Structure 1
Amino acid sequence: MSNLVDEETPLLHAEPPKERKPTPLPKLQIAICLLLQVCEPIASQSIYPYINQLISELGVTGGDDRKVGYYAGLIESLFFLTEATTVLQWSRASDHIGRKPVLLIGLFGLTISMLCFGLSRTFTTLVISRCLTGLLNGNIGVMKSVMGELTDSTNRAEGFSLMPVVWGFGSTIGPLIGGTLARPHERFPKYFSGTFWKTYPYFLPCLVPAVVVMMGFTITLIFFKEVRSIHALPFSLILYINQTIQKRSQGGGEIDDKPVPLRKLLTYRVVLSVSNYVVLAFLNIALYALLPLFLAMPLEIGGLNMDPPAIGYILGALGILLASYQAVFFAKIVRYFGERTVFIASLSTYLPVFALLPMINMAARSYGTNSWPVWILIGMVLVLLAIMDMAYGTIFMYITSSPPSKRALGATNGLSQTTVSIARAIGPALSTSLFSYSVEHNILGGYGVYFFLMILSCFALVLACRLPPRPWDHEDTPPQTPLVSTLDIIGGDTRKIGYYAGLIESLFFATEALTVFQWSRMSDRIGRKPVLMIGMIGTMLSMICFGLSRTFATLVISRCLCGLLNGNIGVMKSAMGELTDSTNRADAFALMPVVWAFGATMGPLIGGSLARPADRFPSIFTGTFWKEFPYFLPCLGTVLFVFVTFIITGLFFKETAHHAHGPKRSLSRSSSSSSSDTLLESQPTSDEQSVGFRGLLIFPVIISIANYVTLAFFNISVNALLPLFFHMPIDMGGLNLEPAAIGYIMGIYGAGTGLFQILFFAKLVRGFGTRRVFIWSMASFIPVFMLFPVISLVAKTWDLCWTVWVLVGLILLLLFFMDTAYGCIFMYVTESAPNRRSLGATNGLAQTTVSFARALGPALSTSLYSFSIQTNLLGGYGVYAILATLGCLALILASQLPMEPWQKEEEGAHQK
């Protein structure tokens, strides 16, 4: 009976498809792209360990600590909010003028904004500098475009697996810097005894990231090779762009490689990928906004009452765990289970994470903050977050494969970063505000914010299920139907810190969402490099303004400026997609969370260590300047880091979007003997049309971006909550940790994330598939949120006992795994672009939506934290219940992803 033949039996036996040999990754260009990726978390997360203390010192809460979450969330969100307004433009600019100029501009802007932040003495200046960071930085979209241009379908998993790794590394260094260097005149009086460090106690943690960014600027300027060629332009940015003439090597025909109009970007692939990216980013940033708030708030307010140093240590451990997990497991997990499975699994972790947060608080109240149950639960949350982070790698792969054409890679990443910036702008403000509101009104015992986020997580899972099992392959892309679619603001009430902290944290992503799409589309036309450089310049400017802020209004303005001028987050993913193919993309995108974890480690470390240098290092920072602007130094540190990155990008980064000459120029491939040159020079020819915005709204783009948004929202909400949770008193649901401790913890968080990404991401993606890794990573958010209240309860019962630290370590471990989601979703977003010409636009769209999610995440998570404490919602842990519920919804969204990112024709990545 085995020989039965029916009408469905093929007449000829089909030959099994031959598996393509992975294309070697261009190591130097990938390394520079990852260096730029590190700058983002370092600059944005270095403020986490000390932002809540800064808000309290500015007096904007009126002495009501319950309101800290509102303002902290606002500051955390401003970067993403302003970034959302420009990241698409930066990405689209990189499509026109090249990736390198945009990257350099972004690095410079990041450096300036960090310095401004460190010199800020009012809430207004903090806002201005934070906005400046987002406005001038469009690199997050451009970097993904670069990654997409440096990879093809054979190596994209490897390439994008690196992005969450380095992001985790940045997430480790950032909080460590912020927590360690904050108030240096107190921690290091022998070296920082001047009045300047007393006046500006948080300038040092800004200065160090600024230095790091400046290093990246220098390296990019010198060594980065433009991955896109462009027409002669009447701008000085042309100096950074390598013009390349290429020809299609397969089929002999010409490809339409013109920039894709915005309408044509809105294909199903792009919309779906960007939608998942937005949901992911929203949940992620909401969680990261809640996590420090949860750790910092008093036990009775639903936190663990940790001091900033302790919060920095926890978040630093989380960064280390995330980077480690992504590096080791992501690629293997994605390959084994598939991109969609990984994405859904990663997204589903939000549910237990949000559920664990109120449990941690309850345990802290019962056994003390330092009790072993608290630390065990915190460790569980960290482990879940490590799993959750895989969602980024998978959604990046979907976004990279979703552009309508290779020419639209920058626009696609810009679109994704625009939307993600909006999500990230909403995430911190919403989560922290819900935290404060839950506490103030005792919603669900103060834990209402967690239940709200759990519900959102469930919706995210529904959207993730719409993704295909694998990212789209350009070779198999059918015609897509466009889818149109010491500030006195808290009044002394520490419970309100979550509102303001979440607002500040969200503003960056909210403003970023307004521009990231334009930056990404610009990168499709002018190249990735110019947009990346512009974004760095904007970041530097906004950070300097933030450091010089002395009022809440200036904080808001600087944070918004930071988001508006930064479209690099989408452009970077486009570049990563262009630097890899399907054989190495998992490895490459695994590095992005790693460097992000590194930045997330360095950022909080800089912020926590260099804040108030006049107090911590009175012997060095004795001037009145440091006393008047105690948070300028950590901003300056960030600016210096961005500046170095700016130089590196300008010098060494090669344009990955070689089709950035314009729509009419015919491209022909020049010979090359190295894999790096092959990847850089073998780009699509000018017959490949760049689709418009409507053309981007295809299912692959929508589902990929949606999952990306969900991941980013949860991730940034956790990042915003972590320092708030660590900072708040134990009786308010926190751990009452010092900024230095917060920085160390968050530094560990970033370092662990990067290490995990390096060791496991590519292996996990190859072993389990992109979707499985993404889903598992997203699922880690659920236990992470559930661990927060447990840690708080343990701390309230036994104070900061060893149980608390074990639970904190568990949260970090979960976050390590969670970070693999970024590499996965990056692959989805990269592959979801309608074509290679639309990769930048797709990433720009993704970053736009993600920026809104990241803007919403910190504000929402920290506000929910404060609200839960003020209203005693769920005993002050309502924020975690809400986020955990939202995590369940995120898993549903993640399940919509295909098993593997969509595949498309990638001549530019694997021509010989």
Structure 2
Amino acid sequence: MTEETNIGEPLLKKQYYENCPGCKVDRAKELEKDVSIRNLVHIWIVVLCGALPVSSLYPFLYFMVKDFNIAEGEEDISAYAGYIGSAFMLGRCLTSMLWGMIADRYGRKPVVIISVISVVIFNILFGLSTSFWMAVITRLFLGCLNGVMGTIKAFSSEIFREEYQPLGLSTVSAAWGVGLALGPALGGYLAQPVEKYPYLFSKGSFWDRFPYFLPCLVISTFAFSVAIACIWLPETNHNHNPEALEIRSRAPDKDKVVQNNESVFRNWPLMSSIIVYCVFSLHDNAYSEVFSLWAVSPRWLGGLNFTTNSVGNVLVVSGFAIIIFQLGLYQSIQKTCGPVSLARISGVLSIPILQSYPFMTMLSGFTLYAAIYIASILNNVIIEIITTCLLILQNRAVEQQQRGIANGISMTAMSAFKVIGPAAGGAILTSSQKRLNATFLPGTHLIFFSLNVVEGLGVLLTFKPFLTIKKLPLELLK
């Protein structure tokens, strides 16, 4: 065991273990004052790999379910689509805590690599689905073997110095938001290639038999390249007892050993932030599916009658807006407002934006496209702002040795809510399309009002005494 002194922090003295990857990362953070671009790129591509398959199916899911011939009527398609959308989150809910425990015990890197490889395999199988149940099962397994998000959140909190932690977590949110926007864009552009690009894909060919395989193949190919890149991913987990690491004051009368034996389930700052995160996640995932299903629905059902390409265009522009905001403006705004106030303000602003969606069916031409682009950009940016703020609160509420399980619990709870999101969103959308002439909340006014009820609940939970913030001891701040 060797001991090094952090010259830049004269009050602290740390011990490092030889051949411990976590100690090597901590030592590098002491010496390097700037942000590592390589680590940011690692975070970006891993999160993007995890996000793309989550939402890439939404633009073509309506048509996929229709091709399965399982829905009794066209207005019932959204309900079946919701079940397929929920299968991934159900699988992730069942295993996220396990992946968090594995990440704490064996390291972040193995979990990331296994998760990325699962995307390669099961996303391809989903694209080859020929029945409703095959689609559900492949999505379920894709979720069960995908422990990447909780693990990469812990990694992002550990790989950077304290002052750059918001940058790491905002990179996670930005990449996730871009993935949730780019995924549907890929699905929209590449699904049914025989119909869209007949000069490249002939009728009666493999692509005609499996019209939804191409976007899945592209995402799996990207995931394969990410799996190779993860060979060079740093390991931030310590391979020794983390309590053996001491943080000692040099003042002779203030020697301390900092230990954290508190159960994460008794950590209310963590648990309260997770609950708020779950409520907003329920809203966000339901919105992601509802938006695409609503946009491609025919006008007589209260939709916009968009093509999958049109939906893809809207989401691509939203993705670029997320990148610009999260990496360019988020840090300075968060520093001014603080994560709690920023999340609260953003949630309030999203409510009138979302409630304007049903009125867009009264528009056409350039006015319609301008309105939907502006609303989509604002709503998706707000979603990522709230997500980043809550991730910062969660990762600040625990020490490093508990971050894997803490993020695993967060992903389990969030995934459970996201199981409800697509299924409930699809069911309510179906119900709303069957009550077009209702007196109260007619047609799609019902689904967007329901989304706003959830958003409003999330905003209320950001106030005290429910949401509390852990104040870190001064000697632990870097």
Give the drift of 1:666. 5.4
Show the counterpart of 1:53.
63
Write out aligned runs for 1:83-162 (5 A): none
Q: Within 2, Cα distance between the matches of 1:811 and 1:38? A: 23
Amino acid at match of 1:38: L
Could you tell me whether the CA contact under 8 Å between 2:185 and 2:309 is conserved in 1?
yes
Correspondent of 2:115 among 530, 535, 538: 535
Show the counterpart of 2:400.
836
Show the counterpart of 2:172.
592
Write out aligned runs for 1:607-618 (5 A): 607-618=187-198
Write out aligned runs for 1:864-875 (5 A): 864-872=428-436, 874-875=441-442
The C-alpha deviation readout for 1:724-750, integer Å capped at 9, x for no partner, is 111101121111111111111111122
Give the drift of 1:516. 0.8
Q: Within 1, Cα distance between the matches of 2:449 and 2:366? A: 25
Show the counterpart of 1:756.
325
Give the drift of 1:509. 1.0
Could you tell me whether the CA contact under 8 Å between 2:272 and 2:468 is conserved in 1?
no
Give the drift of 1:500. 1.4
- Residue 697 to residue 497, structure 1, CA distance change in 2 (3 Å): farther
Amino acid at match of 1:624: S
1:697 lines up with 2:266 in the alignment: yes
1:625 lines up with 2:206 in the alignment: yes
Could you tell me whether the CA contact under 8 Å between 2:91 and 2:141 is conserved in 1?
yes
Show the counterpart of 2:226.
645
Could you tell me whether the CA contact under 8 Å between 1:787 and 1:807 is conserved in 2?
no
Correspondent of 2:386 among 802, 805, 821: 821
Show the counterpart of 1:36.
46
Write out aligned runs for 1:328-343 (5 A): none
Write out aligned runs for 1:197-216 (5 A): none
Give the drift of 1:540. 1.8
Could you tell me whether the CA contact under 8 Å between 2:177 and 2:380 is conserved in 1?
no
Correspondent of 2:448 among 857, 876, 880: 880
Show the counterpart of 1:706.
275
1:499 lines up with 2:63 in the alignment: no
Could you tell me whether the CA contact under 8 Å between 1:590 and 1:758 is conserved in 2?
yes
Q: Within 2, Cα distance between the matches of 1:613 and 1:576? A: 38
Show the counterpart of 2:16.
none
Amino acid at match of 1:778: G
Give the drift of 1:668. 9.5
Show the counterpart of 1:855.
419
Could you tell me whether the CA contact under 8 Å between 1:608 and 1:739 is conserved in 2?
yes
- Residue 905 to residue 621, structure 1, CA distance change in 2 (3 Å): farther
Single out whichever of 43-52 and 565-574 deviates more from structure 2: 43-52
Could you tell me whether the CA contact under 8 Å between 1:596 and 1:754 is conserved in 2?
no
Q: Within 1, Cα distance between the matches of 2:329 and 2:242? A: 43
Show the counterpart of 2:70.
489
Could you tell me whether the CA contact under 8 Å between 2:282 and 2:414 is conserved in 1?
yes
Give the drift of 1:54. 2.0
The C-alpha deviation readout for 1:27-71, integer Å capped at 9, x for no partner, is 311321122112222222222222112222xxxxxxxxxxxxxxx
Q: Within 2, Cα distance between the matches of 1:23 and 1:900? A: 27
Q: Within 2, Cα distance between the matches of 1:742 and 1:760? A: 26
Amino acid at match of 1:526: Y
Give the drift of 1:646. 1.1
Could you tell me whether the CA contact under 8 Å between 1:528 and 1:571 is conserved in 2?
yes
Single out whichever of 509-518 and 750-759 deviates more from structure 2: 750-759
Could you tell me whether the CA contact under 8 Å between 1:614 and 1:626 is conserved in 2?
yes
Q: Within 2, Cα distance between the matches of 1:903 and 1:529? A: 27
Show the counterpart of 1:894.
462
Write out aligned runs for 1:183-332 (5 A): none
Amino acid at match of 2:387: Y
**Local SS of the residue matching 2:234:** strand
**Local SS of the residue matching 2:69:** strand
**Local SS of the residue matching 1:735:** coil
- Residue 40 to residue 904, structure 1, CA distance change in 2 (3 Å): farther
- Residue 616 to residue 886, structure 1, CA distance change in 2 (3 Å): same
Q: Within 1, Cα distance between the matches of 2:420 and 2:223? A: 25
Q: Which of the two has greater helix per residue?
A: 2
Q: Within 2, Cα distance between the matches of 1:23 and 1:603? A: 35
Give the drift of 1:618. 3.0
Q: Within 1, Cα distance between the matches of 2:42 and 2:475? A: 22
Give the drift of 1:790. 1.5
- Residue 29 to residue 496, structure 1, CA distance change in 2 (3 Å): same
Amino acid at match of 1:617: Y
Give the drift of 1:781. 3.4
Q: Within 1, Cα distance between the matches of 2:453 and 2:335? A: 30
- Residue 899 to residue 766, structure 1, CA distance change in 2 (3 Å): farther
Could you tell me whether the CA contact under 8 Å between 1:864 and 1:879 is conserved in 2?
yes
Show the counterpart of 1:26.
36
**Local SS of the residue matching 2:130:** strand
Larger relative CO (CA 8 A, sep 6+): 1 or 2? 1
Q: Within 2, Cα distance between the matches of 1:788 and 1:29? A: 39
Show the counterpart of 2:93.
513
Q: Within 1, Cα distance between the matches of 2:245 and 2:268? A: 30
Could you tell me whether the CA contact under 8 Å between 2:272 and 2:467 is conserved in 1?
no
Q: How many residues align?
A: 433
Amino acid at match of 1:701: L
Show the counterpart of 2:354.
785
Give the drift of 1:667. 6.2
Amino acid at match of 1:733: G
Show the counterpart of 1:469.
none
Single out whichever of 892-901 and 532-541 deviates more from structure 2: 892-901
Amino acid at match of 2:225: V
Q: Within 2, Cα distance between the matches of 1:640 and 1:695? A: 38
Give the drift of 1:711. 1.9
1:575 lines up with 2:140 in the alignment: no
- Residue 701 to residue 899, structure 1, CA distance change in 2 (3 Å): closer
Could you tell me whether the CA contact under 8 Å between 2:461 and 2:467 is conserved in 1?
no
Amino acid at match of 1:699: W
Give the drift of 1:906. 8.2
Correspondent of 2:285 among 716, 719, 727: 716
**RMSD value over aligned CA atoms?**
2.6
Show the counterpart of 2:17.
none
Could you tell me whether the CA contact under 8 Å between 1:780 and 1:818 is conserved in 2?
no
**Local SS of the residue matching 1:24:** coil
The C-alpha deviation readout for 1:3-28, integer Å capped at 9, x for no partner, is xxxxxxxxxxxxxxxxxx99533331
Could you tell me whether the CA contact under 8 Å between 1:596 and 1:750 is conserved in 2?
no
What is the TM-score when the length of structure 1 is the normalising length?
Answer: 0.45
Q: Within 2, Cα distance between the matches of 1:696 and 1:580? A: 26
Give the drift of 1:687. 8.2
- Unaligned 5+ residue runs, structure 2? 1-29, 248-256
1:731 lines up with 2:311 in the alignment: no
1:546 lines up with 2:126 in the alignment: yes
Could you tell me whether the CA contact under 8 Å between 2:43 and 2:171 is conserved in 1?
no
Give the drift of 1:494. 2.1
**Local SS of the residue matching 2:157:** helix
Q: Within 1, Cα distance between the matches of 2:242 and 2:293? A: 52
What is the TM-score when the length of structure 2 is the normalising length?
Answer: 0.84
Q: Within 1, Cα distance between the matches of 2:469 and 2:328? A: 21
Give the drift of 1:554. 0.5
Q: Within 2, Cα distance between the matches of 1:626 and 1:904? A: 59
Could you tell me whether the CA contact under 8 Å between 1:499 and 1:866 is conserved in 2?
yes
Q: Within 1, Cα distance between the matches of 2:198 and 2:313? A: 21
1:743 lines up with 2:307 in the alignment: no
Q: Within 1, Cα distance between the matches of 2:461 and 2:294? A: 28
Could you tell me whether the CA contact under 8 Å between 1:749 and 1:815 is conserved in 2?
yes
- Unaligned 5+ residue runs, structure 1? 1-20, 57-485, 670-685
Give the drift of 1:785. 2.6
